[in-house]
Amino acid sequence: MPVVLCVVGLAFVVGRVVGNDEAISVRENRTLAAWPALSEQTIRDGSFTRGVDTFIADRFPAREAFLDLAAAMADARGVSVDDDVYDGDALGDFGLDAKDVVDDDADAGSADEPDTAPDGGPDVADAGVIADVADAGVADVVAVRPKRKYKSGIAIVGDRGLMYLVGGDDTATGFAEALNTWAEALPAAVNLSAVITPTATHYYLPDDHRDRSERQDENLATVRRALNPRVAYVDVLTALAAHQDQDIFYKTDHHWTQRGAYYAYAAWAERAGFLPVDLADLERKTHPPVLGSLYRFTQSKVLKRAADPIEYWLPAVTYTAKRYKSLDEPPRKANFIVEREKSYAVFLGGDDPLLIAETSIDNGRKALLVKNSYGNALAPFLLHHFAEVVVVDYRYYDRSLKKLIEDRGITDVILQNATVTANTRAHARRMKDVLTGRGQAWEAVTPEKQAEEIKAFQEKHGTPAQTP
């Protein structure tokens, strides 16, 4: 054993000497841990030694080969995940910090397990409601549904990862009420629209999993009914349904693709009175396939073979943009398409509190997109219709958007979200609070923090074995 340890240690040193110092894990699509800062404080609080441990774990020789070997050995031992479903808590909550998640769970009224009949099958009463509305359009679903309780999870279906939706009429109505505060607070001259997208689960989840996930058509119908008529509802669900045979969602990541975002944008443009730009008139580019968030936390071999190419289109309009990493620091030059990024971060370069773009469009109209990460792929298309496009990530902006709208003369406000976040009370609260600047913005998740969370999750649950 001492000889083996010496050989492994020597291999690690040699690897470092010859330059095996990659900053990015292509397999996991994340930044590898950096060498920690050495100081009296980091020695005292233990962060230095923990950082060294993380650094070595991230840069161990042949690390990815060992990960594959561990997964293969787990499979050989017969270790499996029940019904190809992974713990959905792995994904966290899309930008929420821990205290917000706890607060949300406390008042959301959802439990850890789905309702089941005595024999363990799906709830009979709810199945009847689903059958009653299966053929109805989103706007026509009016049945009062019994309360269901769902557990978050990630299902591997075919070569695609799908997240179950946890929510119900109460969370959907709560999100609509948060958007209604915008209609009540802003002048009538400001155009308001809501762009809420379903996730891939709505289109691709098989019937035998349907009782585990909130129905997204019914959920969006509840949002639509509860919205103030002044907020123009964009029917993204129907717009995407016509193209679900195309790559509108990534297979290994929880986001939609820019192609999917385009169809939502086109539906918004038509509702807002604009002629949508034609994709054929834009320059299309692609990056090589990468693995996304659903793979990072499941380590599924199926998803590893389904890495997603990054498809994007360059705007056909001249613009200059500034990025505000912090509102207390000078802005930096920005692009709405950042081609040096090789993952979903190609759109806007990631999540920042504020981006402001001035375009060559001379129509006097100015747009504010209030978004989370789903809006990143949507934002570049807005450049074709406005003299100015302001993009705010509501999770990280800590000022009053009402004041920003007044100061910049915003004419159009697009409130963007996805069902998976719209049904989380903390997101609804933040969408409401950011209007007036109340409440504290969330702390952005750094690559280092993400690496720590991934490691902690895998230490707790182990690297999931491959599912059938």
pLDDT tens, position by position, 132-162: 323 334 444 444 555 666 778 899 999 999 9
Helix axes 169-185, 216-226, angle to 10 degrees: 30
Secondary structure in 3-state letters for the chain: CHHHHHHHHHHHHHHHHCCCCCCEECCCCEECCCCCCCCHHHHHHCHHHHHHHHHHHHCCCCHHHHHHHHHHHHHHCCCCCHHHEEEHHHHCCCCCCHHHHHHHHHHHCCCCCCCECCCCCECHHHHHHHHHHCCCCHHHCCCCCCCCCCCCEEEEECCEEEECCCCCHHHHHHHHHHHHHHHHHCCCCCEEEEEEECCHHHHHCCHHHHHHCCCHHHHHHHHHHHCCCCEEEECHHHHHHCCCCCCCECCCCCCECHHHHHHHHHHHHHHHCCCCCCHHHCEEEEEEEECCHHHHHHCCHHHHCCCEEEEEEECCCCEEEEEECCCCCCCEEECCECCCCCCHHHECCCCCCEEEEEECCCCCCEEEEEECHHHHCCHHHHCCCCCEEEEEECCCCCCCHHHHHHHHCCCEEEEEEEHHHHCCHHHHHHHHHHHHCCCCCCCCCCHHHHHHHHHHHHHHHCCCCCCC
Rounded distance, CA 170 to CA 147, Å? 9
Q: With contact defined as beta carbons under 8 Å apart, do 9 and 46 qualify? A: no
Asked if 203 and 244 touch (Cβ cutoff 8 Å), the reply is yes
Half-sphere exposure of 367 (CA within 13 A, CB side): 28
Cβ pair 363, 383 in contact under 8 A: no
Residues of the chain with pLDDT under 50: 17-20, 29, 75, 77-83, 90, 92-143, 465-468
How many CB atoms neighbour CB 231 within 10 A? 19
Residue located via tokens 């074995």: 465
Closest CA relative to residue 344, chosen from 291, 422, 415: 291
Q: Could you tell me the pTM of the whole model?
A: 0.75
Domain assignments of the chain as residue spans, ordered by start? 2-61, 100-450
pLDDT of residue 147: 62
